[in-house]
Amino acid sequence: MPSSIELTRLTKRYGGFVAVDDVSLTIEPGEFMTLLGPSGSGKTTTLNIIAGFVRQTSGELTLDGNPLGSTPAHKRDMGMVFQHYALFPHMTVAENIAFPLKQRKVPKSQRAELVEAALATVHLGEYGHRYPRELSGGQQQRVAVARAIVYNPRVLLMDEPLGALDKKLRDWLQLEIKRIHGELGTTFVYVTHDQDEALVLSDRIAVFNNGRIEQVGPADELYERPATLFVARFLGESTILRGDVSAGGLGVCARLVKAPGSLDGGPGALVVRPERLTVRQAEHEAQDGWNALPATVTGEIYLGSSRKLELKLPDGSPALVREQAGSLSDARRGDEVTLTWRVTDSVLLPDEPDVEAVLT
């Protein structure tokens, strides 16, 4: 049966450095939860606390409501997949997968059947007799997954498992991991810094920053309705319009840009995703429920199924538009245009001037 995990005010300090800062998170049975964030944000340390490789300084961790406390890693009934496979080079694929069964004293008569089932799950049924050196990187990583699931753990932990692979293979293995999760129904906790990977795989995503969780939710919620400017900037591309909040909107480029919601004044940031923006002819007048700003096209990026337009607003701030193939505008580099978007397609947030420093 898949297990639930509860993190309650977890903190991990290394001397004066706080790696994990008062983190609380509930992971439901059978859920695919991704811990997403930049390097040093606390996501891997949190995973290592769950695994039992690191002991928290304070806070509580429970599995199915039972405190793990000082339970050692090998008694937590959790599988682990690392970025660099960690396969034994002197063992065959089948022997590598059977190793955790042997450690758990599973009778030899049962091991072959369990190994065969694990190999079938990762689509490597004919590779049991090979050695790791005879496999591609993607095949080795699938062996690592098979080894982690062969004893049917209550939780499967994955730490940047696709980070060492090329993009095409990584994209394919994302779908394989999603398939395996669907077949097993096991609780998955997955660490990555790759936003696209998180969007593809996850039931929910916890976005980490400076040791804390900024927001938790399904991918579409985080993308469409980010709670902070950091989440908006880290999860996907955005155009960020900055200005002072006033009644009904935001002062941008000497104009009032209408915004959904409200803030209590002060500096604000309006977030618009690139596919929500439309390029129109210069001097285009905004319709009811729409915003419009003048802009200059500064670059074009052809992506096959889409095209990105890079633009500059009158105050010098950048903007980004994504147009789908078949509905491209006539805009070209150097053109003066009008940038338009629905008021409801933007999110108004408090400005965070330090976000750029964190992300760069």
259: tokens are: 């915004």
Q: What pLDDT shows up at residue 69?
A: 83
The helix or strand, by DSSP H or E, that contains position 198, with its residue range, turns out to be: helix 195-201
Residue 292, beta-bridge partner list: 340
Query: Which tens digit of pLDDT belongs to each residue from 92-121?
Result: 999 999 999 998 999 988 999 999 999 999
Q: Give the full edge-to-edge strand order of the sheet including 58-63.
A: 17-27, 5-14, 58-63, 66-67
Q: How far is CA 202 from the centre of its chain?
A: 8
- In the chain, where does the domain assigned CATH 2.40.50.140 lie? 237-359
Looking at residue 139, its amino acid is Q
CA distance 204 to 219: 6
- Apex CA 307: angle with CA 302 and CA 312, to 5°? 105
Q: What pLDDT shows up at residue 357?
A: 47
- Is 358 a residue whose pLDDT tops 70? no
What superfamily would CATH give domain 5-224?
P-loop containing nucleotide triphosphate hydrolases (3.40.50.300)
Q: How many residues are present in the chain?
A: 360
pTM: 0.91
Q: What pLDDT shows up at residue 247?
A: 74
Q: How far is CA 316 from the centre of its chain?
A: 30
Query: Which tens digit of pLDDT belongs to each residue from 240-274?
Result: 999 888 877 888 877 888 888 777 778 889 999 99
59: tokens are: 């806070």
Q: What pLDDT shows up at residue 359?
A: 52
CATH architecture entry for 237-359: Beta Barrel (2.40)
- In the chain, where does the domain assigned CATH 3.40.50.300 lie? 5-224
Q: Give the full edge-to-edge strand order of the sheet including 212-217.
A: 78-81, 155-159, 187-192, 32-36, 204-209, 212-217
Query: Which tens digit of pLDDT belongs to each residue from 284-328?
Result: 887 889 999 999 999 999 998 999 999 999 989 999 999 998 888
DSSP structure string for 11-60: EEEETTEEEEEEEEEEE-TT-EEEEE-STTSSHHHHHHHHHTSS--SEEE
Task: Decide which of 108 and 11 is more confident.
Answer: 11
Helix, strand counts (H, E) of the chain:
9, 20
Query: Which tens digit of pLDDT belongs to each residue from 334-343?
Result: 999 999 999 9
The helix or strand, by DSSP H or E, that contains position 171, with its residue range, turns out to be: helix 167-184
Query: How far lies 30's CA from each of 2, 18, 154, 156, 189, in Å?
Result: 5, 30, 9, 10, 10
For a pLDDT cut of 70, what percent of the chain falls above it? Answer: 98
Q: What pLDDT shows up at residue 352?
A: 85
